[in-house]
């Protein structure tokens, strides 16, 4: 079977990386946590700005190196080549990465945030429903969480994937195409979603409510997760503490995060209100939903062969986080 171009491009990189894993990386990981993030990951951005994670890990003799990525697929590539130890992405990138041979393990997830992604059209668009997208150009970041939202929204509207013209663009390029009328609709996540709504009057056709859960996942190098459970637990302890700070004063948190994201505080505050942030160990139910996502992408020919999400799950007793509770914050894909 011919591999989709997205998988064909990633697979050689992941296979090469698997053969070049350096023993020195394990030694470095014992004293440094290299964490992959995106600027749109609001809570991680808050942690980076206030140095809370560095303070949390100092008693363990562990420093922090923050490594920025433009989106989830690139972050997964970084994880696989050994550039980072832990990363945070939306629900679709791990599926594409696992299909391409990436080596990682799920170590935690954030609760559902279906309102934090949506299909939008320009303010003056005549389109009023997802069904009206038939034959239209729709921009999206290939392999990100919104890819799955669009698949399921089309399905609900009685359309097939072949009924639209997908235009694969990263967020910045997609925003430009959207505003100049080169595409008819855009599927995007927060804070980009809130930004285009508030700045240009974009209108939602459909968010994820009733269609997808829009989980986000913490992923790690398997060897790191098994050998450094105290570091991972400290990361999640700090995540919970900072999420509580954010929930107590969302406006103040937005003021801190906004300059780092290059957005106005009111945009960031709206974005934060749409996420439920509270890292937890993966449950069988959440893993089953991730498997359903993988099966959907395979059925559409977007990944070349079936995958078993269970193959990338953290085994009990090997460093998985425990005892987390849900709070509110903001996200990433």
Could you report the per-residue pLDDT of 218-272, keeping only the tens digit for each?
999 999 999 999 999 999 999 999 989 888 899 999 999 999 889 999 999 999 9
Instruction: Please provide the distance, in angstroms rounded to a whole number, between the alpha carbons at the two ends of the chain.
Output: 29
Phi/psi of residue 64, each to 5°?
-125, 135
DSSP E strands in 39-94: the ranges are 63-68, 86-90
The rounded distance, in Å, linking the Cα atoms of 303 and 86 is 24
pTM of structure: 0.81
The rounded distance, in Å, linking the Cα atoms of 293 and 298 is 9
Instruction: Give the pLDDT of residue 142.
Output: 87
The rounded distance, in Å, linking the Cα atoms of 68 and 89 is 12
What b/e sequence results for 40-72 when a residue is b if at least 16 CB atoms lie within 10 Å of its CB, and e otherwise?
bbbbbbbbbeeebbbebbeeeebebebeebebb
- Average of per-residue pLDDT values in the chain: 86
The reply to whether domains 5-113+215-312 and 114-207 share a CATH topology is: yes
**The two three-digit tokens of residue 144, written as one number:** 């990100």
pLDDT of 144-184, one tens digit each?
A: 889 999 999 999 999 999 999 999 999 999 999 999 999 99
pLDDT of 271-302, one tens digit each?
A: 999 988 778 888 899 999 999 999 999 998 88
Instruction: Give the pLDDT of residue 323.
Output: 34
Q: What is the CATH number assigned to the segment(s) 114-207? A: 3.40.190.10
The rounded distance, in Å, linking the Cα atoms of 148 and 127 is 21
**The two three-digit tokens of residue 211, written as one number:** 């269609």
Residue 34 has pLDDT above 50, yes or no: yes
Task: Find the length of the chain.
Answer: 333
- Residues in CB range of 224: below 8 A, 6 or more apart: 26, 29, 85, 86
Domain 5-113+215-312: which topology? D-Maltodextrin-Binding Protein; domain 2 (3.40.190)
Mean pLDDT of 60-64: 96
Q: Tokens 């206030």 appear where?
A: 50
C-beta atoms surrounding 162 within 10 Å: 9
Q: How confident is the model at residue 72 (pLDDT cuts 50, 70, 90)?
A: confident
Q: How confident is the model at residue 40 (pLDDT cuts 50, 70, 90)?
A: confident
Packed helices 229-248 and 250-261: angle between N→C axes, nearest 10 degrees: 110
Q: How confident is the model at residue 24 (pLDDT cuts 50, 70, 90)?
A: very low
Residues 114 and 214 sit within 8 Å (Cβ to Cβ): yes
Residues 145 and 189 sit within 8 Å (Cβ to Cβ): yes
Instruction: Give the pLDDT of residue 30.
Output: 58
The rounded distance, in Å, linking the Cα atoms of 119 and 185 is 7
Residue 318 has pLDDT above 80, yes or no: no
Domain ranges in the chain are 5-113+215-312, 114-207
Instruction: Give the pLDDT of residue 187.
Output: 98
Instruction: Give the pLDDT of residue 325.
Output: 36
């Amino acid at each position: 079977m011919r591999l989709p171009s997205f998988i064909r491009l990633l697979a050689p990189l992941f296979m090469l990386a698997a053969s070049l894993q350096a023993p020195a990386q394990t030694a470095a990981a014992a004293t440094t946590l290299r964490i992959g993030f995106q600027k749109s990951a609001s809570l991680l951005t808050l942690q980076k700005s206030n140095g809370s994670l560095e303070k949390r890990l100092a008693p363990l003799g562990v420093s922090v190196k923050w490594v920025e990525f433009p989106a989830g697929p690139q972050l997964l590539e970084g994880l696989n080549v050994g550039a980072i130890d832990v990363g945070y992405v939306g629900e679709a990138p791990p599926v594409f990465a696992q299909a391409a041979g990436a080596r990682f393990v799920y170590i935690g997830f954030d609760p559902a945030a279906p309102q934090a992604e949506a299909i939008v059209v320009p303010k003056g668009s005549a389109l009023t429903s997802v069904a009206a997208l038939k034959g239209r150009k729709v921009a999206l970041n290939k392999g990100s969480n919104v890819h799955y939202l669009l698949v399921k929204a089309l399905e609900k509207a009685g359309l097939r994937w072949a009924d639209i013209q997908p235009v694969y663009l990263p967020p910045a390029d997609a925003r430009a195409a959207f505003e100049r009328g080169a595409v008819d609709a855009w599927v995007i996540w927060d804070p980009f979603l809130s930004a285009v709504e508030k700045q240009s009057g974009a209108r939602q056709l459909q968010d994820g409510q009733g269609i997808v859960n829009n989980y986000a996942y913490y992923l790690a190098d398997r060897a790191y997760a098994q050998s450094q459970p105290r570091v991972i637990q400290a990361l999640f302890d700090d995540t919970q503490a900072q999420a509580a700070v954010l929930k107590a004063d969302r406006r103040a948190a937005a003021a801190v995060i906004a300059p780092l994201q290059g957005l106005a505080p009111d945009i960031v505050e709206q974005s934060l209100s749409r996420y439920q942030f509270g890292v937890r160990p993966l449950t069988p139910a959440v893993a089953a939903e991730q498997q359903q996502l993988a099966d959907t992408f395979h059925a559409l020919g977007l990944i070349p062969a079936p995958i078993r999400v269970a193959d990338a799950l953290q085994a009990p007793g090997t460093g998985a986080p425990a005892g987390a509770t849900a709070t509110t914050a903001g996200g990433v894909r």
